[in-house]
Amino acid sequence: MASQRRGAFIVLEGLDRSGKSTQAAALVSRLKTINGENSAKLMKFPDRTTTIGKMIDAYLRSQNELDDHTIHLLFSANRWELVSAINADLAAGITIVCDRYAFSGCAFSAAKGLPYDWCIAPDKGLPEPDLTVFLDLTPAVAKLRGGYGEERYEKEELQRKVRVLFHSIGKQMKGGKWQEIDASSSIEEVEKAIWKHVEPFSDGCTSSINGLW
């Protein structure tokens, strides 16, 4: 008997303006074209629609001030509040494409100066993605793209630190679960590079989901 297939849990990470949202939407469309309308779902963190998400949104738009530790825990709580939905979708065979996840949580807060070990602790035990694709772009190039600078973290110096942290987080991810691609090329080229890594997961997975980290 074939083992039970579940959906794959795919995460796209990157700096602000790296093209994650565009690519996540394109990837979901592609998976739906292959496997049907109900086979894939787009998720995004922070999910600004929940009660916690609304606090995060206000913070990012500089409408409230929160201690660095407090906002870090809210970002993490925003992921935890969606864990049961993630697990239910994966078990139902739905592949999740997620725009940012715990790697952003750690990279951004550590870039602000919080200790790395403290940053990873609250996300310990979250469902581990089967694959994370990091859309790599220099902050200088990201800055040239439209819309940069509107939100709290969209500053070149901070983004430089975030990029260094993303690279070191990636080095600690074993078994090919972290893949980096050059996000400076055209939308079509980036789409192709992402698909090369995602295609092996397009039928879902049979392994059970582990916990981070």
Residues of this chain that interact with ligand DGP (CB under 6 A) are 16, 45-46, 60, 72, 75, 100, 104-105, 108-109, 151, 153
Alpha helices by DSSP H, the chain:
20-35, 51-60, 68-80, 83-91, 102-111, 116-120, 139-144, 156-172, 187-198
Which partner from the list ligand DGP, Na ion, none does 109 bind, CB cut-off 5 to 8 Å by kind? ligand DGP
Smallest separation, CB 34 to ligand DGP (Å): 26
CB atoms within 10 A of CB 153: 14
Residue number of the CB atom closest to Na ion: 21
Q: Which of residues 45-74 bind Na ion (CB under 5 A)?
A: none
Of the pair 43, 205, the CB lying nearest ligand DGP is at 43
Residue with tokens 């691609």: 181
Residue 16 binds to Na ion (criterion: CB under 5 A):
yes
b or e along 121-144 (b: 16 or more beta carbons within 10 Å of the residue's beta carbon)?
A: ebbeebbbbbbbbbbbbebeebbe
Written as one letter, the residue type at 82 is L
Residue 184 binds to Na ion (criterion: CB under 5 A):
no
Residue 22 binds to Na ion (criterion: CB under 5 A):
no
Smallest separation, CB 145 to ligand DGP (Å): 12
Which partner from the list Na ion, ligand DGP, none does 195 bind, CB cut-off 5 to 8 Å by kind? none
Smallest separation, CB 39 to ligand DGP (Å): 24
**Exposed, middle or buried: residue 105 (CB in 10 Å: 0-12, 13-18, 19+)?**
buried
Of the pair 46, 170, the CB lying nearest ligand DGP is at 46
β-strands 131-136, 178-182: how paired? parallel
Cis peptide before 122 (omega within 30 of 0): no
Which partner from the list ligand DGP, Na ion, none does 139 bind, CB cut-off 5 to 8 Å by kind? none
Positions that interact with Na ion (CB under 5 A):
16, 20-21
